Amino acid sequence: MRKQFAVIGNPIEQSRSPELHHAFAEKTGIDLQYSKRLAPLDGFRDSVADFFNQGGVGMNVTVPFKEQAFAQCGVLTERAKIAKAVNTLWMQDGVLHGDNTDGQGLVDAIRALGWNLEHSDILIIGAGGATRGVIYPLVQAGAKKIVIANRTLARAEQLVADLQAAVPQAELQAMALTDLIGQFDLAINATSASLTGDALTLPECLQFNFAYEMAYGKPSSFLEQAKARGVPTSEGFGMLVGQAIESFYIWNGVKPELKDFL
């Protein structure tokens, strides 16, 4: 029988994971089927149990279940523990295992663009789950300072307090979005502003050399302002592909090349 995989979320129709994983499978010669599963908002645990009881090999988890998946796993990777969210599940010796590949997906996407992360100063705008998931992989990739700027300063401060001990080799700093100032190698928009269509206004004096928007396929006022500054930009499709490749690698032991799918 073909190996069975699925992405679980609510809603799920919009997910591009099946097409990505089928493209990886074709490229690497692995026989698999990857489907979408809509779980009821109060039925995540049962849906996961059903999938693995029926012989499923691996699951991706998307909104709004990543924190529930984290809570449900018996074994977690270090990066999933730090992210406090899980997007990749598999069963091993009867125990549910969880990882979070979002941050490595971002790192791989940035590297595929040829942007340097070694000794970098990074600005991340936003202090939600998306930011939490990428700090550790960015530091592992060489970031030496990360400023987290958020509309609600207290949330950025909380994130710094939570995560600084996990990344002792880097300096984390919280800032209010309204006080945002400085010079950075890379600016990342990790807010949900582009998803909701809200504008994000960057101060004139803010300087950065590259700009990465985590969202994709939406107008982004962050990217418009970056382009007006004349810096190279990217939206988040590469991150989506990157996290999918990392999940595929965990499950199948084979790593497709990111650049083949951009």
- What is the binding site for ligand ATR (CB under 6 A)? 126-130, 150-152, 155, 177, 191-193, 198, 200
Token digits of residue 249: 């690698």
Check: CB of residue 252 under 8 Å from CB of residue 91. Answer: no
Please, what is the minimum distance in Å from the beta carbon of residue 69 to ligand ATR? Answer: 14
Nearer to ligand ATR (CB atom), residue 39 or residue 130: 130
Please, what is the minimum distance in Å from the beta carbon of residue 204 to ligand ATR? Answer: 17
Please, what is the minimum distance in Å from the beta carbon of residue 160 to ligand ATR? Answer: 13
Residue with the shortest CB distance to ligand ATR: 128
What is the C-alpha to C-alpha distance for residues 191 and 134, in angstroms, rounded to an integer?
A: 13
Q: Is 3 a catalytic residue?
A: no
What is the C-alpha to C-alpha distance for residues 162 and 20, in angstroms, rounded to an integer?
A: 34
Token digits of residue 88: 């990749």
Judge whether 85 is annotated as a binding position. no
Catalytic residue among 66, 84, 218, 227: 66
Please, what is the minimum distance in Å from the beta carbon of residue 125 to ligand ATR? Answer: 7
Please, what is the minimum distance in Å from the beta carbon of residue 233 to ligand ATR? Answer: 18
Nearer to ligand ATR (CB atom), residue 68 or residue 192: 192
Nearer to ligand ATR (CB atom), residue 25 or residue 99: 99
The pairing of beta strand 58-61 with beta strand 88-92: antiparallel
Judge whether 62 is annotated as a binding position. yes
Judge whether 194 is annotated as a binding position. no
Alpha helix (H) residue ranges in the chain: 17-28, 44-53, 66-72, 78-83, 102-112, 129-140, 153-163, 193-196, 221-228, 237-252
**Torsions phi, psi of 131, nearest 5?**
-70, -45
Judge whether 165 is annotated as a binding position. no
Judge whether 152 is annotated as a binding position. yes
What is the C-alpha to C-alpha distance for residues 255 and 179, in angstroms, rounded to an integer?
A: 42
Beta strand spans in 136-234 (E): 145-150, 171-176, 183-189, 207-213, 233-234
Judge whether 155 is annotated as a binding position. yes
The pairing of beta strand 88-92 with beta strand 95-99: antiparallel
What is the C-alpha to C-alpha distance for residues 191 and 218, in angstroms, rounded to an integer?
A: 13
Q: Binding site: residue ranges?
A: 15-17, 62, 78, 87, 102, 126-130, 150-155, 214, 216, 236, 243
Q: Binding site for NADP(+): residue ranges?
A: 78, 126-130, 150-155, 214, 236
The residues that are catalytic are 66
Q: Binding site for shikimate: residue ranges?
A: 15-17, 62, 87, 102, 216, 243
